[in-house]
Structure formats: C-alpha cells, structure tokens
Chain A
C-alpha cells in the first residue's frame, strides 16, 4: 500500500511542478515583448529517494528554483557602450545644430556677408560720383547687416550652450531619481532573495541601471545579497546597496561664458567633490562637452573672426580720412577676442554720419585710395589674433579672414562627420550587444510553444499515473 500511496504522491507532486512550469512558460510568453524582461526557466531536481527492500526508490520531481537567464558580461558591456554612445549622440545632436548654423551651402551665411562687405568697399572705390554718397550709405547698410549676421550667429551658438546647461540640470535630477530607485529596489531584492530569487525585480533594476548608464558613465558590481553597487568612474559610489548619494549643481562664478553655468558636485555626506571635469560619458558627459568644449569653441571661433574683422578694418580705416577730415574707427574698438562677436558694432562716428567713412588718404571727395586698400583686405593674409592674444602679438595662422572662416566651417564639418561615424559604429556595437542579450535573455515563442507541448504531455502522463494508481487502489479496496 505504501508503494501505491508513494506513487500517488510522486504523481501529485509532478502535477504541481508541471503547473509551476506552465506558469513560468506563460510568464515568459506574456513578457515576449517586454524589452527589459529576462527569460525564466524552471530548474527541476529529484526529491530525496527512500530505501525499500534493499534498493532506493525515487520519490519524484521538485522545483529547485526558477532561474533567470541573463549574461552579466553582456550587461556590463552594454552599460559601458551605452554610456559612450549616449555621450556621442548628445554631442552629435549639438554639433549638427552648429553645423547647420554655419552651413552656407543652402543659404547666405557669414562668408557671404563678409564677401559682400568687402565688395561694398570696392563699390565705394570705383564710384563715379563725387564723394560717393550712395556707395557710402550702401557700405554702412552692408556693414550693419554683417554685424547682425555675426551677432545672430553668436546668439544661436549661445542658445546651444544654454540648452546644454538646461539639460545638465535636468540630467542631474534624473540621475538622482534613478539612483534612489535603484537603492530602493536593492533593498527589495535583498529582502526577497532570502526567500527566492527576485527575478522580476532584478529585471526592473537592471533596466534602471542601463537607463542610468545612458545618463552618466558608471561601473557596477553585485553583492552577495543581490544588491548592486553603482560607482562613478573614479570609484566613488553613487548607489551603495540600499543608500543613494546625490549629485548637486552649483553656479560657477568663474565660467567665462555665463556665471550661472553649473558645475556638478558629488556629495558623500561629509565632503563635496567637483566632478565637472571627470564626467566624460553618458548624456551628462556629452552635454558638459557640448557646453564647455564644442559650443564654447565655436563661440570663440566666431569671436576670433569678429575681432580680426574689427582689427584689420579699423587699422586700415584709421590710415585714411573721412570727408569730414577726421580719422575714425570703422567698428567700435574691442580690447579682447573673448566675446568680440556679441560686442561687434559699428563705430558711433560711422553710425552718426557716412562722411566718417575714410575712402581716401585725404579728405578729397574723389580720393579712393583707402577704399581700395580696405577692399584689398579680402585677400590680404595677416596673422590671426586668437583668444588671449591681445594686447600682445597675434599667434594664429597667417590667413585672410575669408580663408579663416572657411577653415572654421571645415573644422566643424570634419568634427560632425567624425562623430557621425563614431556614433554609427557605437550604434552597431550596441545593436550587436542587444542581440547577445536577447540571445540569452529573450523569449522565443517557438521554444515556449515546445515547452507547452512538453508540459501538456507531462501533465497528461502524470494524470494517467494517478488514474492507474486509483484503479489499483480500487482493486485493493474491492478485496476488502
């Protein structure tokens, strides 16, 4: 009798385990489209055997655990790649804007405005009327439009910078929120791990870690209790088991562009560390680079163009005399390259009267010698003053301003193209890693259907065992 009851117990347990298997399979199928889900698998083992009649008799199957299939190395690689890919994409987004701002392929830009400015001096020099009043008016109008172009481009570039600053603040908030969520999940996971593997919570947490890795470059490792430790590149931990540290932002009074631009700090409770220069990855690293390097450099490039324009034109203009007999600046004199683009303006004397324009070396109305020399600046190569140079000598390349403008546009184009290629390459690497992750963790409906068929057969077979035992028991009972 004990043998029959044993068989009944074995079959009942098997039915129970099969039902668990069905639940796991249906859980898998239900999550087939959940991108964060890691497929789960029932791990089976035999129950302890009993010895009978000198042999050992098996007592059936039990569910050892529900295993979550995930590859830690792929996860680590994804975290790394996502950080650098997000940094590249962020920079690329900003560079594309800058590239488009500087774009002269489809529309009138800085190069065209400069060219027209020099042309206006030619028109002044070859004017046939005495004193060339129309050509003077035209020159002033063209110069005003050049100033507007430079200032507008400066404002647009500064907008790119300001947008990056806004994003930096938002990102720090998002990072803090993600860190807190990860710390909370860590606590839940550790608690549940006492009982059984916290598979679904682990999926949730890994997804958050991946999301965090897009914001900032991190390294992670798992403790024995299942909690993850999230570290910043230089080793300080952002999430240490159940507690999260906060990043903070503070305005930087020393920022050369805007004193409200923030620096990012790490606060470990007792000390604050300035991370601004250390964050290179993730969207945060990307936005910092956009603000402090890419946009900043483009603004300074434009400043350089504006300053050298001001300086070359003024130097030549001062050599001549206006119709009013005086020597004037053409543009308001600026002392430094920094912020020259936003400060570029026509000299007050020129604004007041076009008679201040020095077309000649004398005040004679037909004298066009200085206008000829001013027009000649178009092709005159001179050493370019770079930021920090004035009042010292120029340390830049010897180039005409038009050529220098071309080289700036070219450099931004090269940078954008380089980033586009790097970003596309990162994208393919991530695609490859995602495929790897899916290969291990993804749900295959075909597999699950096969598992369903298997489980169905198992269930039927065990049911048959129970029916058979029931028949046998009926036999035995009928003997009584």
Chain B
C-alpha cells in the first residue's frame, strides 16, 4: 500500500481505469455491431482457425450441391433417352409379332418395314441425344455424334450398319467429398451391346440397330421366319436396356441420397460455425449495459476524487 498519494497518481489511476473500461466497451460494441464474437484471429485463435475450416467446408458443400444439380440434369437426360429407346424396342417387337403372322401379305410386310425404318431413325436420334450441345452417349468425345448409319435403306433389302464414333467412357461428377458418380453411360455398350469394345456385341447382348435392320430386311424381303427369329433378339435387347437403365438409376439413387446428406451437413456446419464465431446477442447487450454503467461509475468516482484538496477547506 502506498504511503503518499500525490495528485498525479490520482489522475494517472483515474485515466488508467477509464481507459481500461473504454477498451472493454469498444470490444463489446464491435461484437454487438458485427454480431461476431471473433472479429479477428487474435480474438480467439482456435475459434478463428475452426471458423476458417468450417467456412471452407460450407463452401465445398455448396459446390457439391451445384455439382448435384448438373449430375441430376445429365442423369435425367440419359434415363429418359433409355426409356425412349425401350419404347422403340417395344413398338418394334409388336411390329415383329405382327409381321410374323402367316396371314400377312408381302405388301403389308413392306408397309411394316417402312415403320421399322422410322424406328431405326428414331433410335439413331436417341443414341445421339445432346444436352447443351454435348452428346451424352459419346463419353469424353462429347462434341462428336456417337452414332452414324453407313447409308440409306435400300429398296428390296440391304440396310445400313451403325458404327460408334464416340468414346466408350462414362462421365463422372464428384457429388460429395471423394464420391464420384457416373452421370452418362457408354453408348457403345448401351446401343451396340459391345461393352468390351471388340467391335461386336458381347455374349447375350444385341446391337439394337442391327436387330432393327434385320427386322426391316426380313419384312422387306417377306421372310416370315426371319421376322420370327428377331423376336428373341428384341427380348434380349429390352433386357439389355433395362440393365443399363438400372445402372443409371443407381446413380440417380446416389444423387438423391447425397442431396439429403449435403442438406443435413449444410445445416450442421452453419450451426457449428455460428456457435464458434457468433456473439450471443443477449449476452453482449447485457454486458454492454453493465460496462456502460461501470464506466459511468468510474467517471463519477474520478470526478469526485480529483476535486477535493486541503485548499478547499482552508479557503
């Protein structure tokens, strides 16, 4: 304890106290106006580092959500293309069933053949489906149309073959950290039944264009047996499309699951970020009121302390 109290000591102490009180007040005012408890790394280094990480994670989550949108659009395009192709096969099979009937004449079969030619053209369009200018069945070679017919249909027999000009690959998109999901299918495998890329359909699979061409030729040449022979191949082709549709459907499932997961994570991350860096408004405001009255008290006490001196009494 000091034994002598001098005038400068009093004013120094007063200034020191007022200064400290004002410093605390400024901190609280900053927190109240920014709504943040941590306004700079030094306020709470651990929290600031955690907030940095959380913001990056939130940012990544938003990015994955954008990726999901892209993936969904592309998967939907692929899925509907395959559904369309299935419709084509169903229609072609019913034509084959009709054409296989012994009661049909050559003229009627010729008419059916023309319908098959149209179906062939439709399937070709489906195989060349584009999404924003990119061919979805072309793999990485997205600017190249994957399927082209070798020529027109010839009267009385002779159908074009369809070759694959795309890239036999499936485009992937990252839909969650480290999770890459296929968003397109290998067109060669879907439409030509050639999964191994050796130029001919794999065992149990069909070149759908070839089946249609064979049906058309059989009808055009009025060969009921040959028409009947295509029926099993249509069944195999339909099964093949169903398998591919299931594969892309699985991607769709993954996307839906990721969507829910990302939405949950976004909420969790936002809440954590808020608890790490946000100021508790009620707490800050009540502290602010406390500090203000503390400053008021300090100022009043200081004013009183600085005033009296023996001079006042002696006059």
A interface list, Cβ under 8 A from B: 32-33, 35, 95-96, 99-100, 102-106, 111-112, 115-116, 118-119, 122-123, 125-131, 360, 362, 364-369, 372, 375-376, 378-379, 402-403, 405-407, 409-414, 416-417, 420, 431, 434-436, 438-440, 442-447, 449-450, 453
B180 at the interface (CB under 8 A from A): yes
Partner of A99, one of B42, B52, B172: B42
Bound-state Cα–Cα, A128 to B39, Å: 40
Chain A positions within 8 Å of B60 at CB level: 115, 118-119, 378
Contact partner of A439 (CB less than 8 A), chosen from B6, B142, B180, is B6
Cα(A130)–Cα(B34), bound, Å: 45
**A-chain residues with CB within 8 Å of residue B3 when the two chains form the complex:** 439
Contact B140 A366 (CB under 8 A): yes
Is B7 among interface residues, defined by CB-CB distance under 8 A? yes
B8, B38, B41, B173 — which one has the most chain A CB atoms within 10 A of its CB?
Answer: B41
Q: Cβ of B114: which chain A residues have Cβ within 8 Å of it?
A: none
Q: For the complex, is B260 an interface residue (Cβ under 8 Å from A)?
A: no
Residue of B52, B172, B178 touching A368 (CB-CB under 8 A)? B172
Contact (A128, B134) CB under 8 Å given A104-B52, A379-B178: yes
19 new A-B contacts, CB < 8 A, other than A130-B143, A360-B140, A412-B41, are: A32-B7, A105-B48, A106-B34, A106-B36, A131-B143, A364-B139, A366-B138, A376-B174, A379-B177, A379-B178, A410-B41, A412-B42, A413-B44, A414-B42, A417-B42, A443-B6, A444-B5, A444-B6, A449-B314
Contacts of B41 in A (CB 8 A): 99, 102-103, 105, 409-410, 412-413, 416
In this complex, what residue of B is CB-closest to A35? B8
Closest chain B residue to A375 by CB distance? B174
A381 to chain B, nearest CB (A): 13
**Residue in B closest to A412 when the chains form the complex, CB atoms:** B41
Instruction: Please indicate the chain A residues that have their CB under 8 angstroms from the CB of B38 in the complex.
Output: 105
Contacts of A445 in B (CB 8 A): 7, 309-311
Nearest-CB residue, chain A, relative to B309: A445
Tell me the smallest distance from the CB of B270 to a CB of chain A, in Å: 16
Given A439-B4, A453-B314, decide whether A366 and B143 contact each other with a Cβ distance below 8 A. Answer: yes
Residue of A nearest to B42 (CB): A416
B275 contacts A by Cβ under 8 Å: no
Q: Does B163 contact A (CB under 8 A)?
A: no
Query: B171 and A366: CB pair below 8 A?
Result: yes
Q: How far does the alpha carbon of A447 sit from the alpha carbon of B8 in the complex, in Å? A: 13
Residues of B within 8 A of A100 (CB): 40
Q: 1/0 contact trace for B124-158 toward A, CB 8 Å?
A: 00000001111100111111000000000000000
The interface residues of chain A lying within 8 Å CB-to-CB of B74 are: 128
A368 touches B171 (CB 8 A): yes
Distance between B259 CB and nearest chain A CB, rounded to angstroms? 15
Q: Mark B30-51, 1 if CB is under 8 A from A, else 0.
A: 0000101011111111101101
With a cutoff of 8 Å between Cβ atoms, the chain A residues found around residue B263 in the complex are none
B56 touches A103 (CB 8 A): no
Can you report 12 A-B residue pairs in the complex whose CB atoms are below 8 A from each other? A104-B52, A115-B55, A123-B63, A125-B173, A125-B174, A126-B71, A128-B70, A129-B133, A364-B141, A365-B142, A410-B45, A439-B6
B4 contacts A442, C-beta separation under 8 Å: yes
Q: Nearest chain A CB to B37's CB is how many angstroms away? A: 10
What separation, in Å, do the CA atoms of A412 and B40 have in the docked complex? Answer: 10
Q: Are A406's CB and B142's CB within 8 A? A: no
Nearest 3 interchain pairs by C-beta: A366-B142, A413-B41, A442-B6
- Whether A449 and B59, one on each chain, are in contact in the complex, defined by CB atoms closer than 8 angstroms, is no
Q: What chain A residues lie within 8 Å of B4 (beta carbons)?
A: 439-440, 442, 444, 447
Residue of B nearest to A127 (CB): B70
- Asked whether, in the complex, the Cβ of A435 is within 8 Å of the Cβ of B174, the reply is no
Bound: A119/B56 CA distance, A: 10
Chain A CB within 10 Å — which of B135, B172, B310 has the most? B310
Q: How far is the CA of A125 from the CA of B142 in the complex (A)?
A: 13
Known: A111-B56, A379-B177. A446 touches B9 (CB 8 A): no
Shortest C-beta distance, B229 to chain A (Å), equals 38
Chain B residues whose C-beta falls within 8 Å of the C-beta of A413 in the assembled complex: 40-45, 48-49
Q: Does B66 contact A (CB under 8 A)?
A: yes
**C-alpha spacing A410/B45, complex, angstroms:** 5
What 0/1 readout, one digit per residue, does chain B (1-39) give for beta carbons within 8 Å of chain A?
011111111001100100000000000000000101011
Determine whether the beta carbon of A449 is less than 8 Å from that of B310: yes
Give Cα A35–Cα B143 distance, bound, in whole angstroms.
Answer: 83
- B167 near A111 with CB under 8 A, answer no
- Which of B131, B174, B178, B180 has most chain A Cβ within 10 Å? B174
Query: Cβ of B143 and Cβ of A122 under 8 Å apart?
Result: no
Among candidates A104, A366, A375, A403, residue contacting B141 with C-beta atoms closer than 8 Å: A366
Quick one: which of B7, B40, B135 has the most chain A CB within 10 A?
A: B40
B49 and A409 contact, CB distance less than 8 A: yes
Contacts of B73 in A (CB 8 A): 128
B59: min CB distance to chain A, Å: 5
Contact B55 A126 (CB under 8 A): no
Closest to B71 in A: A126
Q: Is the CB of B309 within 8 A of A119?
A: no
Taking a contact as CB atoms under 8 Å apart, the answer to whether A407 and B2 are in contact is no
The interface residues of chain A lying within 8 Å CB-to-CB of B45 are 410-411, 413-414, 416-417
Q: Which of A33, A365, A410, A449 contacts B49 (CB 8 A)?
A: A410
Which residue from chain B places its CB closest to the CB of A378 in the assembled complex?
Answer: B60
Q: Which residue from chain A places its CB closest to the CB of B59 in the assembled complex?
A: A115
Q: Answer yes or no: B221 CB below 8 A from chain A CBs.
A: no
| Most A-side CB within 10 Å, residue of B3, B66, B135, B141 | B141
Cβ of B67 under 8 Å from chain A: yes
Q: Is B242 an interface residue (CB 8 A)?
A: no
Please give, as numbers and ranges, the residues of chain B lying within 8 Å of A410 by CB-CB distance.
Answer: 41, 45-46, 48-49
Looking across the interface, which residue of chain A has its beta carbon closest to that of B172? Answer: A372
Q: How far is the CA of A106 from the CA of B39 in the complex (A)?
A: 7
- Whether, in the assembled complex, B122 has its beta carbon less than 8 Å from a beta carbon of chain A, the answer is no
Task: State whether B55 touches A111 (Cβ < 8 A).
Answer: yes
Point out the residues of chain B lying under 8 angstroms from A125, CB to CB: 67, 173-174
The reply to whether B34 and A409 form a contact with Cβ atoms under 8 Å apart is no
Q: Does B277 contact A (CB under 8 A)?
A: yes
